[in-house]
Amino acid sequence: MSKKVIPIGPYHPLQEEPEFFTLYVDGETVTDIDIEIGYNHRAIEKIAESKSYDQVTFLVERICGICSTSHPFAYSNAIDNLLEIEVPERALYIRTIIGELERIHSHLLWLGLAGHFLGYNTVWMWAWRYREPILDIFERISGNRNHYAMFKPGGVRRDLDEADFPWIKKTLKGLIPKFDMFKGAVIDDPVIRARTEGIGILTKQDVHDYSVVGPTARASGVAIDIRRDDPYAAYDRVDWKVITAEGGGVFAKAIVRILELYESTNIVLQCLDKIPKGPIETNIKDMPVGEGIGRHEAPRGEVFHYIMSDGGNGPARHKVRAPSYVNIASNKKAVIGETVSDATIILAAVDPCYCCTERMAVVDAKSGTKLMDGQDLIRLSQEKTARMKK
Amino acid sequence: MIKYLFNFIVFPGFLFTAVIGLAASWIDRKVTARVQWRVGPPWYQPFVDLVKLSIKEITVPKSASKPLFFFSPLIGLSAVILASTFIWLANMGSWSVGFSGDIIVVLYLLTIPAIALMLGASASGNPLASLGVSREMKLMLAYELPFIIILTVPIIKSGGILRLADLVLFQEANGAFVTSISGVLAILVGIFCMQAKLGLVPFDMGEAETEIMAGVYIEYSGMLLAIFKLTKTMMLVAMPVFLVTIFWGGFSIWKYVILLVVIILMRNTNPRVRIDQAMRFFWGKMTFIAAMAALLAVMGM
């Protein structure tokens, strides 16, 4: 059969976000892949420069709908780092609880989508059904199911009510048998194993070459986790371990995510037991001139926020790097040589999140020529930084 | 002549099978929905879907070969109508219009919907459709082999009867084939082949929504898509009833419902397999079991 092009995207049932993979196929085998992102650029970093520090928390929360707390988490860490302040203990625990609950619902969402991509719609619906209790917990805690608006620089916005703790614990413990069910369904089901084992392999070397982060890296046996490597919030005050798996295929990625469900539940339960009483925020008066960085281990890997302050009301420069940006590139390694039927699940196995990954280029709409690409924009940005440093 | 036309168009051919098929597809959707914690559609949903699709615009791709693109849905539909007419009439004693060898004719007719689908899809000129066609073709090559082998089981056991109605009569007199070991093995293989013929999970790689966006159906719309969907719905009646007829002593509602439940359960408890895995499955395990069944049938078990 002759060489053909199979387009996945920009609108494709595989993902609910615009992205464009061009698969070059020979029969069913993928021989090459082009990855194009940037269909939904929203200029978040630019908007951030026109907002006050407090408003930016809400802005970055809207970068992604699934891991909506990762960005405020990393952003708050960055501001705390810039201010060099001690965040109250209770706020640290609340941050940890929110972050881990989010990991649970994000991993369940991925599990459901993975089932859907494999044509296993029952797993899809069931995983999303058991995601609901987590969203209920969020609604009880914050009043919102998805954008919780809990974070602020120097603390959290809303306190947890001790009266809710027994109910939260009961709901979480009730989910553990369901996680067992999913674990059994993935590990024991011969057809799922046959479909996911040994495909989309990333070796340890590939992980280093592509700087892959998060569960995608941990599935290749590389134990990187910001929560342990650079402790923040209350992660060094509770007992948990970094989950890794060997193999690096889609199966290993699924196993890592499923086992992380248990760890996250464990962390939340410990935090609920240990959480101290006290204030939940610090009063921030002045913003000094300087820089701050914040990192957070989002469900998909490391989120990185950089804040530059000129002493004004809002950030002078705000830089976001989301984990999917590096993870998606690793698809080039994972997909080539596999079949088209496996390509979809491999592309989905990094749990890609396009909305936080978008980059832009300046294009002349009439002629369609590219006036500026990513490199030019980086150069512009560096020039601006240099001007400001003077 | 009038009687034949009536049989073909109204009962038990086109209208009757279509209504039963749409009802069965509602059961399928409803049970699937309940398994997946959803509410599911009301009973008339498949009918409404069909009507809605029929009045939608038909778009034809520029690259399509038009006659083939338009006629292949009709080829598939007429084949499944004829097959279901034969199968139903074989279960109705004196109504039967079958002839010696009609089991072979029905076997051919039941493969035509898949072939028509491939013809139409390759006529559309879409690369995703052609990928779907290549999968569908490999799948067909895979499942037809064990399917033909198990069809020899009732023929051997009945001493060479090739007429569907006579097979039913033979089973009424001597007990259904499914009560013997060879019959059990044969119907087991038959159920897997049926799932593949119906193009349902785990063997729906020809239209794999999340991989190749409905593959073979990708360029079809409006009335033509409705005809393909109707063909598939009628196969949901024709195939189980065919298996019941030749292995299980003739049609009855509960036998049909049991097979329908098996189909629904299988499609809700499995992910889609890859085409090479499906071929290995059918040419390996299934062909082996089918050959065993034929061998046991020769030995009289």
The amino acid that residue B249 corresponds to is G
**Measuring CA to CA, which residue among A224, A228, A203, A221 is closest to residue A213?**
A224
A contacts of B266 (beta carbons < 8 Å): none
Cα distance from A115 to chain B (closest Cα, Å)? 7
Q: How many CB atoms lie within 10 A of CB B44?
A: 12
Can you give the residue range of the structural domain that contains B242? 2-298
Q: Does B103 touch chain A (CB under 8 A)?
A: no
Q: Does A131 touch chain B (CB under 8 A)?
A: no
And the tokens for A164? 């809710």
Contact: A119, B271; criterion CB under 8 Å: yes
Cα distance from B140 to chain A (closest Cα, Å)? 17
Cα distance from B202 to chain A (closest Cα, Å)? 8
> Is the predicted pLDDT of residue A354 greater than 70, yes or no?
no
pLDDT range class, residue A163, cuts 50, 70, 90: confident
**Measuring CA to CA, which residue among A131, A137, A97 is closest to residue A111?**
A131
Testing the interface with B: which of A16, A108, A111, A118 to mutate, by most B Cβ within 10 A?
Answer: A118
Mean of pLDDT over chain A: 84
And the tokens for B79? 């084949």
And the tokens for A98? 């929110």
Q: Please write the tens of the pLDDT for every residue from A280-300.
A: 888 888 888 888 899 898 888
> Is the predicted pLDDT of residue A1 greater than 50, yes or no?
no
Cα distance from A223 to chain B (closest Cα, Å)? 30
Testing the interface with B: which of A11, A199, A340 to mutate, by most B Cβ within 10 A?
Answer: A340
**Domain spans of chain A?**
40-333, 363-390
A306: region left, alpha or beta (phi > 0 left; psi from -120 to 50 alpha): beta
Nearest CA in chain A to B209: A13
**Rounded to two decimals, what is the model's pTM?**
0.79
B234: region left, alpha or beta (phi > 0 left; psi from -120 to 50 alpha): alpha
Contact: A119, B209; criterion CB under 8 Å: yes
Q: Is B220 exposed, middle or buried (0-12, 13-18, 19+ CB in 10 A)?
A: buried
Cα distance from A3 to chain B (closest Cα, Å)? 11
Least confident window among A328-332, B58-62, B92-96: B92-96
A contacts of B210 (beta carbons < 8 Å): 13-14, 116-117, 119, 344
> Is the predicted pLDDT of residue A218 greater than 70, yes or no?
yes
**Which A positions 293-352 lie with beta carbon below 8 A of chain B?**
339-344
Q: What are phi and psi of A11, to 5 degrees?
A: -120, 115
Which residues neighbour B215 within 8 Å (Cβ) at sequence distance 6 or greater? B121, B128, B129, B131, B132, B133, B135, B136, B205, B206, B207, B208
> Is the predicted pLDDT of residue B198 greater than 70, yes or no?
yes
**Of B202, B212, B268, which is closest to A340 when you measure between CB atoms?**
B212
pLDDT at B48: 92
Q: Does B210 touch chain A (CB under 8 A)?
A: yes
Q: Please write the tens of the pLDDT for every residue from A221-254.
A: 888 888 888 888 888 888 888 888 888 888 888 8
And the tokens for B143? 């499942």
Nearest CA in chain A to B205: A341
Contact: B271, A195; criterion CB under 8 Å: yes
**Of B37, B127, B204, which is closest to A129 when you measure between CB atoms?**
B37
B40: region left, alpha or beta (phi > 0 left; psi from -120 to 50 alpha): left
| CB-CB contact of A196 with A250 (8 Å) | yes
**Whole-number Cα distances in Å, B129 to B147, B174, B213:** 26, 48, 9
> Is the predicted pLDDT of residue A328 greater than 80, yes or no?
yes
What value of ipTM does the predicted structure carry?
0.72
Q: Does B39 touch chain A (CB under 8 A)?
A: no
β-bridge partners, A291: A308
Q: Please write the tens of the pLDDT for every residue from B112-137.
A: 998 998 888 888 878 788 888 888 88
pLDDT at A362: 67
pLDDT range class, residue B42, cuts 50, 70, 90: very high
And the tokens for B56? 């939608």
Q: At what angle do helices B66-90 and B102-124 cross, to 10 degrees?
A: 160
| CB-CB contact of A132 with A124 (8 Å) | no
And the tokens for A368? 């369609």
Average pLDDT of span A309-329: 86
**Measuring CA to CA, which residue among B42, B286, B4 is closest to residue B144?**
B286
Testing the interface with B: which of A16, A121, A129 to mutate, by most B Cβ within 10 A?
Answer: A121
Number of domains in chain B: 1
Cα distance from A202 to chain B (closest Cα, Å)? 21
The string of DSSP letters for B219-272 reads T--HHHHHHHHHHHHHHHHHHHHHHHHHHSSS--HHHHHHHHHHHHHHHHS-PP
Could you check whether the bond before residue B12 is cis, i.e. omega within 30 degrees of 0? yes
Contact: B127, A6; criterion CB under 8 Å: yes
**Measuring CA to CA, which residue among A20, A98, A90 is closest to residue A267?**
A98
User: H helices within B91-221, ranges in order?
Assistant: 102-124, 127-157, 164-174, 181-198, 209-212
Domain at A40-333: CATH code: 1.10.645.10
- What percentage of chain A carries pLDDT values higher than 90? 6
Q: Does B201 touch chain A (CB under 8 A)?
A: yes
Q: Does A129 touch chain B (CB under 8 A)?
A: yes
Q: Say whether A6 sits in a helix, a strand or coil.
A: strand
CA distance A64 to A101: 16
Q: Does A14 touch chain B (CB under 8 A)?
A: yes
| CB-CB contact of B91 with B257 (8 Å) | no
Q: Please write the tens of the pLDDT for every residue from A11-44.
A: 776 666 777 888 888 877 888 888 877 777 788 8
| CB-CB contact of A8 with A23 (8 Å) | yes
With the CA atoms of A222, A227, A228 and A230 taken in that order, what torsion angle do they form, in degrees rounded to the nearest 10? 110
> Is the predicted pLDDT of residue B255 greater than 60, yes or no?
yes
Q: Does A144 touch chain B (CB under 8 A)?
A: no
Contact: A341, B275; criterion CB under 8 Å: yes
pLDDT range class, residue A358, cuts 50, 70, 90: low
Cα distance from B5 to chain A (closest Cα, Å)? 41
A contacts of B273 (beta carbons < 8 Å): 191, 194-195
Q: Please write the tens of the pLDDT for every residue from A102-121.
A: 999 999 988 888 888 887 88
Cα distance from B208 to chain A (closest Cα, Å)? 7
CA distance A76 to A56: 10
Q: Does B34 touch chain A (CB under 8 A)?
A: no
**Of A6, A119, A129, which is closest to B210 when you measure between CB atoms?**
A119
And the tokens for B8? 């073909």
CA distance B84 to B230: 13
* DSSP assignment letter at A162: G
Contact: B36, A121; criterion CB under 8 Å: yes
A27: region left, alpha or beta (phi > 0 left; psi from -120 to 50 alpha): left
pLDDT range class, residue B26, cuts 50, 70, 90: very high
- What percentage of chain B carries pLDDT values higher than 90? 13
Q: Say whether B183 sits in a helix, a strand or coil.
A: helix
Largest CA distance in chain B: 58
The amino acid that residue A268 corresponds to is V
With the CA atoms of A194, B121, B21 and B239 taken in that order, what torsion angle do they form, in degrees rounded to the nearest 10? -60
β-bridge partners, A321: A304
CA distance B212 to A87: 50
pLDDT at A14: 66
CA distance B172 to B215: 43
Contact: A194, B272; criterion CB under 8 Å: no
Nearest CA in chain A to B270: A120
CA distance A328 to B60: 36
CA distance A136 to A168: 9
And the tokens for A170? 């009961």
Contact: B271, A129; criterion CB under 8 Å: no
